[in-house]
Amino acid sequence: MILVTGATGNIGASLTRQLAAAGQPVRALVRRPGSTEFPPGIDVVQGDLVAPESLAGALDGVTGLFLLGGFDTLEAVLAQARSAGVKRVVLLTSRCVIGGAPDNAITAMWLRSEDALHRSGLAGTVLRPSGFQSNLLRWKDQLDRGDVIRAPWPEAAIAAIDPSDIAAVAAVALTETGYLGQALELSGAEPLTPAEQVAILAEGLGKPLSYEPQPDDEARAQMRRGMPESFVDAQFRFFSAGEFDDSRVVDTVQQVTGRPARPLQGWVAEHRQAFT
């Protein structure tokens, strides 16, 4: 049995579908059963990573675990997994840990997650993806108000990855032994600036859109409404100070799954209804 945490998220939902389609026994961990529909045959259980004591039943009979990083309770969750007999963990972090400053709040969070897995004694694979193509959904509110997208860091290109590609790599790592003990850097097909992302979104939605650079002070004030101050500072260190280059393209998706990473156009075509 494979347990997928974050099963209603962009990666987890795709991973449960891919594993089930391949005939793997899958259990989906959700906080609110019934809030999301899953394909037939998937065992849906209630639990929460921030409450490790809630996972006892969910871990029963589980040998493979897809685990989101970034939780303060991650060490306790991994201890429970080991006690329950889990044999293999695939942990999601970020490629900002590669050469990133360890005192950056976001980098430090992912480094702690990876360290927790190493110290747990469990066999595992770490996935270190680039930014997600699904992050374009953050622009939906602006699209509801008009056809201008304002976003910071106009020169910061990101080789954003389709979450379904991360899920495909995770599915291989959970069902084959060749990637145990490895940390896999993942990226999308090409680096794109915000203006280039907006142009692809406009083409996919069939509507004229334009990009307008957002001043740092305005972007900082907006971001403060949705994340801790330390994470806001971390983002500005990444992209204003140039601490993290998320533009590098790697072919890991091709190497692991046998097919290339999906371009942004494919993700937009698949999710265009989410913007309407």
Residue range 131-173, pLDDT digits in tens: 999 999 999 999 999 999 999 999 999 999 999 999 999 999 9
Q: What is the CA radius of gyration of the chain?
A: 19
Tokens for 115?
């360290």
What pLDDT sits at residue 35? 67
pLDDT greater than 80 at residue 33: no
Q: Give residue 100's pLDDT band: very low, low, confident or very high (50, 70, 90).
A: confident
For 208-227, what is the mean pLDDT? 93
Write phi, then psi, for 124 (nearest 5 degrees): -165, 175
> What percent of the chain stands above pLDDT 90?
92
Question: E strands of 107-155, at which residues?
Answer: 123-129, 148-151
More confident residue, 259 or 33: 259
For 90-105, what is the mean pLDDT? 94
By C-alpha distance, which of 264, 124, 258, 242 is closest to 187? Answer: 264
> What percent of the chain stands above pLDDT 70?
99
Q: Burial letters for 80-114: b for 16+ Cβ neighbours within 10 Å, e otherwise?
A: bbeebebebbbbbbbbbbeebeeebbbbbbbbbbb
pLDDT greater than 70 at residue 85: yes
- Residue 264 CA to residue 276 CA, distance in Å, equals 18
Contacts 24+ apart (CB under 8 A), 96-103: 96/238, 96/244, 96/246, 97/128, 98/128, 98/185, 100/243, 100/244, 101/237, 101/243
- Residue 199 CA to residue 40 CA, distance in Å, equals 38
